[in-house]
Amino acid sequence: MTPEERYLFDLQGFLFIPEAISKDLVQQMNDDIDQMESLNDEEANKLGLYRKYHNNNKDHPGHNPSGYDCNILSRGGPFEALIDCPRTLPYIDSMINEPFRLDGYMFMIRNQGCRTVFHHGYAELLPYSEFAVEEGEFKCVSVKIAYALRDVSVEEGCFAVIPGSHKSNFDNPFEGMNPDKNHPLVEPCPCKAGDAVIFTEDLTHGSMINQSKKTRRTLFISYAPAFQSPWGKLVDTADGFEERATSRQLELIRGPSPFAIV
Amino acid sequence: MTPEERYLFDLQGFLFIPEAISKDLVQQMNDDIDQMESLNDEEANKLGLYRKYHNNNKDHPGHNPSGYDCNILSRGGPFEALIDCPRTLPYIDSMINEPFRLDGYMFMIRNQGCRTVFHHGYAELLPYSEFAVEEGEFKCVSVKIAYALRDVSVEEGCFAVIPGSHKSNFDNPFEGMNPDKNHPLVEPCPCKAGDAVIFTEDLTHGSMINQSKKTRRTLFISYAPAFQSPWGKLVDTADGFEERATSRQLELIRGPSPFAIV
Amino acid sequence: MEKKTKKKVPRLLKLQTGTGERHLSDEERHFFDIKGYLVMENFFVPNQVNEAREAIQDMAKKPSANITIERKDYELELLNIVEAGGILEDAIIFKRLLQPMEEIIWGSQVRLVASRGLIKEPGSIETLTQGGKADPRRYTKYRCFVEGEFRCLMTTCLIALNNCSNGNGTFCIIPASHKSNFPHPYSNTSLESVSVLKDIALKAGDAIIFSENLSHAIKSPINEKYLWLSYQYGPSYMLSWPGCEASKELRTRTMDSEIKTRLLKTPYYHPWDYYYKDIVN
Amino acid sequence: MEKKTKKKVPRLLKLQTGTGERHLSDEERHFFDIKGYLVMENFFVPNQVNEAREAIQDMAKKPSANITIERKDYELELLNIVEAGGILEDAIIFKRLLQPMEEIIWGSQVRLVASRGLIKEPGSIETLTQGGKADPRRYTKYRCFVEGEFRCLMTTCLIALNNCSNGNGTFCIIPASHKSNFPHPYSNTSLESVSVLKDIALKAGDAIIFSENLSHAIKSPINEKYLWLSYQYGPSYMLSWPGCEASKELRTRTMDSEIKTRLLKTPYYHPWDYYYKDIVN
């Protein structure tokens, strides 16, 4: 990390990484998702894909379901490349600063009317989300990366944060509320396809309401120290992964020895 | 400070310095105090000495007053040597770690039945007492030194502390109570004449009940960053001090420029 | 400890440690803790803005005995401007200013540490303070505890006496920088190029309270002279800025105001020791 | 966020974040925060001590399938001793142990991360752990907030099965070292020469709960073999120590105990996600 990147991540709790993945890889992933979208739930389940729906678009009854989350790493293919994305992984190394695993890999669909309400903030004291700096080094747990697979503007329901809330000492009065782009605390993060936002889970985050007919597609990939558990199915891999994987990918998925540091 | 001294002061909140001042200087100070003790309050006041009595020896009505505090630096003479005591001042330098002043110089008499109840502790969040370490360096405010002018055992009412309480997150349940040497949190600090205890004001401290007929004599000298005020009369000096003083002594008493660091 | 003496202490000097008195709303507290500042619109009504502007301009021409003028390039600083009286004296006890200061610093044990009138001309120097942990000025330290109390050191109230926005003489800050763990890397960067620096648009009469530990700067005005008023508060034991000690005259004329008297007192730690000192003197 | 799902979650998996449930007295909380440990006298009654000693000795001779024995010089470590059943299984839910763990770690979202029987012989190695900020084992982190809640990571309960005092096989610690800002300088020092190292005299059946972030060691016994039991707890999402995963057999036989079931669950973050996983599987 450059001194400015270090300063910005500490100051705001997130870092914007433009063009984190190539247009080509984005295209491959979108093609695969198009194919997956044609499956019904039963067909998807048979392939090991589980959709968790978010039916919160009461104002837009024509668009149901408004969105879902899904364990897309079990599709394999182009998604495996992001396990150890060369553009972003060095940041995770500096932010966690000890052996870590990939503990969750989730695909998110957000249709019209859908949004993610604000959640988290330092004062929750969630032990698995802690943002910390000691002796001039980051010591974070749970650092996440949001990769945009499509261009997403404020109106199209982009990611949104409260910069600095990863150090907030008081309960977040906006917990559970829709991000309001006009509030002086709120910063929406519009992205181009292939851009990434790296953030600490202690940061208050959510997404704007998607007011368009365009579907937002995002990958959320999460990393944590070795002693922390993976998030169940969200690290399921496809057949043959172990043979295909690089040694770093294997270590990130299996997790390094959890208590090796003595 | 050696690594062990640094470790111990951080761990416990105080540091014991044996033979901090020479027997000779101790003798001179005790001789002067003997002389001062022969004065009544009116005579003392005329010389600029003010006694603040502690009449808390209800159980020992024969010994009234049981103790007092007094602005003894205004006596001048041997007391001026401790403004910049070569054995202790380098510690203060490392503990405060920025330009500082001597902000209080107090003499304490404790007779039979007298004690100082436990007071302070980190959770009080007193801004002028803060114990702090940043980037591997102490950043304390209000570091004090207790110099024993006589041997003082546990029974003779020595200084007593709760080691580690300078980092306590909870209210001190023993606030205002007499230190009990049998409690596992309590550590009495018996001293020989000339020994010193350096401590952070955030440390819960007090003194054991003096159960003897011997009078405890102690000097408390306090240091603080330049922007903090001196404690009123407790930095009064004797006539001619400015001419006699070393430049360091002068700076410590006048205080460095309070906001010079920009 | 000295419980007996404590009881005798007049209400004026009530020890504030841990009283937990709160004046800010939950949202204000959350905002100030995250961002390091609070904006107060219409702190002065137009009449007060005019009175303040005139008083500062008069003092700049012919300063009274207790006000010092420091001239830098294209900038005039009038130290101890509270001595000018009128609105410049009355503002120090405005509730909208004092209540946040008391919550942010240390209850009723706060002092006025410095007061200044500022006249900025086109070309005035734009300096971005360091802020955060790397700020060498420990007297600016920001302290706040999880779901607990603030214990900040120097906290500033800056009042705009012109409309300042769009980079024209604007006050600007790096939000959240009062909690920075690293030094900002913008020492050799022009303010315009600092991506996280935010202009705070203020109208004449608006005020901003901020932790002195927040990275901040005042931009140079483009055409005219811009006037500012600055009041800095600290805990009771913080010394006055050199040149900002309250004069005997000021102390005498504010004797009837309990709050002004308290804010202008010489520094003290324990109120009862201060009281005690009064008795023995 | 998922408020609807949250409501459906069975009580067993109630999310504990911020419930502020308190089991310790003010004095215990103050003591543990300062010293980093709490002693519980007579945690086991004499019968339980005998049962535990016998079970450990049996397992050392003929370990059951789910218990691993690690031999070091003059020391035997029986990993996953909870599998032995009886008192070694029941102890994990003793209120005197579990209530402090729940307050110190994270409410009812705690897990048993490791369990061990230890047999120490004269000559066993005495290692002082680092402790404090300099401890490289981040999974031992101690966290506590001013007048607030604990959020500690690995926390240990050690039960003495012999009388251990006066340096003879004694458990010893550096009090307050869980908050050390500096590494301890005693790496090349014999335990006897570490001035701040304190022997904790324990009788057979006494237990001590301590933050794994506290510098600690077990001294070598002088004449006989000394037996210990150690249980380590962590937050719900902390993985089991390798070799300490609960066996199917153990999970099945503890099904009727809501609390044992919870402590022996595979790691999880949000209880409702765990619940959801059960549904979709």
The confidence score (pLDDT) of residue D11 equals 40
Whether A163 and chain C come into contact, CB under 8 Å, resolves to yes
Nearest to C237 among B128, B134, B261 (CB): B128
CA distance D226 to chain A (A): 24
Nearest to D277 among A127, A233, A255 (CB): A233
The confidence score (pLDDT) of residue C19 equals 60
CA distance B249 to chain A (A): 35
Whether D123 and chain C come into contact, CB under 8 Å, resolves to no
pLDDT tens-digit readout, C149-197: 899 999 999 999 999 999 999 999 999 999 999 999 999 899 999 999 9
Does residue B262 belong to any structural domain of this protein? no
Mark which residues 199-238 of B lie under 8 Å from C by CB: 225, 227-229, 231-233
CA distance A242 to chain D (A): 21
Chain B residues within 8 angstroms (CB to CB) of chain A: 135-136
Please list every residue in chain A whose beta carbon sits closer than 8 Å to the beta carbon of residue C197. none
Please list every residue in chain D whose beta carbon sits closer than 8 Å to the beta carbon of residue A179. none
Q: Quick one: average pLDDT of A98-121? A: 94
Token pair of D113 as six digits = 């991360």
CB contacts < 8 A, B to C, total 71
CA distance B94 to chain D (A): 14
Chain B interface test: which of C237, C273, C275, C279 (most B C-beta within 10 Å): C237
The confidence score (pLDDT) of residue B65 equals 65
> Dihedral through CA D100, CA D102, CA D106, CA D109, nearest 10?
160
Whether C1 and chain D come into contact, CB under 8 Å, resolves to no
Q: Do D238 and A227 touch (CB under 8 A)?
A: yes
Does residue A178 belong to any structural domain of this protein? yes
DSSP state of A129: S
Chain C interface test: which of B69, B229, B236, B254 (most C C-beta within 10 Å): B229
Q: Which domain holds residue A51?
A: 3-254
Does residue D4 belong to any structural domain of this protein? no
pLDDT tens-digit readout, B22-39: 999 999 999 999 999 999
Rounded to the nearest 5 degrees, what angle is found at the Cα of D270, between the Cα atoms of D268 and D272?
Answer: 110
The confidence score (pLDDT) of residue A66 equals 80
Name all chains with 3 or more CB-CB pairs below 8 Å to chain D.
A, B, C
Please list every residue in chain B whose beta carbon sits closer than 8 Å to the beta carbon of residue A125. none
Domain with residue B29: its CATH number is 2.60.120.620
Nearest to C182 among A6, A163, A164 (CB): A6
Does residue C8 belong to any structural domain of this protein? no
Collapse the DSSP code of A176 into the 3-class scheme (helix H, G, I; strand E, B; otherwise coil) and give the result.
coil
The confidence score (pLDDT) of residue A261 equals 72
What domain count does chain D have? Answer: 1
pLDDT above 60: residue C278: no
Name all chains with 3 or more CB-CB pairs below 8 Å to chain A.
B, C, D
Token pair of B31 as six digits = 């001789």
Could you tell me how many residues make up chain A?
262
Q: Do A170 and C174 touch (CB under 8 A)?
A: no
Mean of the per-residue pLDDT values of chain C: 90
Whether A12 and chain C come into contact, CB under 8 Å, resolves to yes
What domain count does chain A have? Answer: 1
Q: By percentage, how much of chain C surpasses pLDDT 90?
A: 82
CA distance D114 to chain A (A): 11
Mark which residues 24-53 of D lie under 8 Å from C by CB: none
Q: Which domain holds residue D118?
A: 19-177+191-279
Q: Quick one: average pLDDT of B106-113? A: 93
Q: Quick one: average pLDDT of A51-68? A: 65
- The answer to whether D209 touches D45, Cβ cutoff 8 Å, is no
How far, in Å, CA of C238 to CA of A147, rounded? 50
pLDDT tens-digit readout, B39-73: 999 999 999 999 988 765 455 444 456 889 999 99
Does residue B241 belong to any structural domain of this protein? yes
Bridge pairing between strands B216-225 and B133-134: unpaired
Does residue C233 belong to any structural domain of this protein? yes
CB contacts < 8 A, C to D, total 13
Whether D103 and chain A come into contact, CB under 8 Å, resolves to no
pLDDT above 50: residue A62: no
- Whole-Å CA distances, D87 to D45, D59, D94, D255: 11, 14, 10, 17
Does residue B219 belong to any structural domain of this protein? yes
CA distance C150 to chain B (A): 9
Whether C185 and chain B come into contact, CB under 8 Å, resolves to no
Mark which residues 7-46 of D lie under 8 Å from A by CB: 17-18
Whether A125 and chain D come into contact, CB under 8 Å, resolves to yes
pLDDT above 50: residue A156: yes
The confidence score (pLDDT) of residue A190 equals 98
Chain A interface test: which of C130, C182, C210, C215 (most A C-beta within 10 Å): C182
CA distance D48 to chain A (A): 31
Q: Do A136 and C184 touch (CB under 8 A)?
A: no
pTM: 0.93
Reported as a pLDDT band with limits 50, 70 and 90, residue C210 is very high
The confidence score (pLDDT) of residue D16 equals 55
Q: Do A98 and D138 touch (CB under 8 A)?
A: yes
Does residue C77 belong to any structural domain of this protein? yes
Rounded to the nearest 5 degrees, what angle is found at the Cα of D94, between the Cα atoms of D90 and D96?
Answer: 160
Mark which residues 57-86 of B lie under 8 Å from C by CB: none
Does residue B259 belong to any structural domain of this protein? no
Q: How many CB atoms lie within 10 A of CB D54?
A: 13
Does residue C208 belong to any structural domain of this protein? yes
Instruction: Return left, alpha or beta for A85; rule: phi > 0 is left, psi -120 to 50 is alpha, else beta.
Output: beta
Token pair of C153 as six digits = 């050191």
Does residue D184 belong to any structural domain of this protein? no
pLDDT above 60: residue C274: no
How far, in Å, CA of D2 to CA of D7, rounded? 9
Token pair of D242 as six digits = 């390798």
On the CB side of D263, how many CA atoms lie within 13 Å of its CA? 28
pLDDT tens-digit readout, C220-244: 999 999 999 999 999 999 999 999 9
Q: Quick one: average pLDDT of C35-45? A: 98
Q: Do B123 and D147 touch (CB under 8 A)?
A: yes
Q: Do A168 and C33 touch (CB under 8 A)?
A: yes
CA distance D28 to chain C (A): 21
Q: Do B125 and C137 touch (CB under 8 A)?
A: no
Instruction: Return left, alpha or beta for B98; rule: phi > 0 is left, psi -120 to 50 is alpha, else beta.
Output: beta
Q: Quick one: average pLDDT of A26-32? A: 98
CA distance D222 to chain A (A): 27
Q: Do B227 and C106 touch (CB under 8 A)?
A: no
Does residue D8 belong to any structural domain of this protein? no
pLDDT above 50: residue C279: no
Q: For C144, which residue in chain D has the nearest alpha carbon?
A: D146
Q: For C104, which residue in chain B has the nearest alpha carbon?
A: B127
Q: Quick one: average pLDDT of C129-148? A: 95
Cβ burial of B57 (10 Å; 0-12, 13-18, 19+) is buried
The confidence score (pLDDT) of residue C15 equals 54
Reported as a pLDDT band with limits 50, 70 and 90, residue A21 is very high
Does residue A222 belong to any structural domain of this protein? yes
Domain with residue D213: its CATH number is 2.60.120.620
The confidence score (pLDDT) of residue A60 equals 47
Cβ burial of A171 (10 Å; 0-12, 13-18, 19+) is middle
D104-126 core/surface letters (b: 16 or more CB in 10 A; e: else): bbbbbbbbbbbbbbbbbbeebee
Whether A127 and chain C come into contact, CB under 8 Å, resolves to no
The confidence score (pLDDT) of residue D177 equals 98
How far, in Å, CA of C273 to CA of C278, rounded? 9
Query: Edge-to-edge, what's the strand order for the sheet holding A187-189?
Result: A116-119, A205-207, A159-161, A187-189
Does residue A188 belong to any structural domain of this protein? yes
Give D276's contacts (C-beta < 8 A, 6+ positions apart).
A52, D5
Does residue A74 belong to any structural domain of this protein? yes
Q: What average pLDDT values come out for chain D (281 residues) when binned by 10 residues?
A: 34 51 91 98 98 97 93 94 98 97 92 98 94 96 93 98 95 98 94 96 98 97 97 97 97 95 90 48 29
The confidence score (pLDDT) of residue D73 equals 87
Q: Quick one: average pLDDT of B189-212? A: 97
CA distance C196 to chain A (A): 8
Does residue D5 belong to any structural domain of this protein? no
Nearest to A124 among D17, D238, D277 (CB): D17
- Residue A148 phi/psi, 5° resolution? -80, 130
Please list every residue in chain B whose beta carbon sits closer than 8 Å to the beta carbon of residue C234. 227
The confidence score (pLDDT) of residue C2 equals 33
Q: For C146, which residue in chain D has the nearest alpha carbon?
A: D145
Could you tell me how many residues make up chain D?
281
CA distance A19 to chain D (A): 30
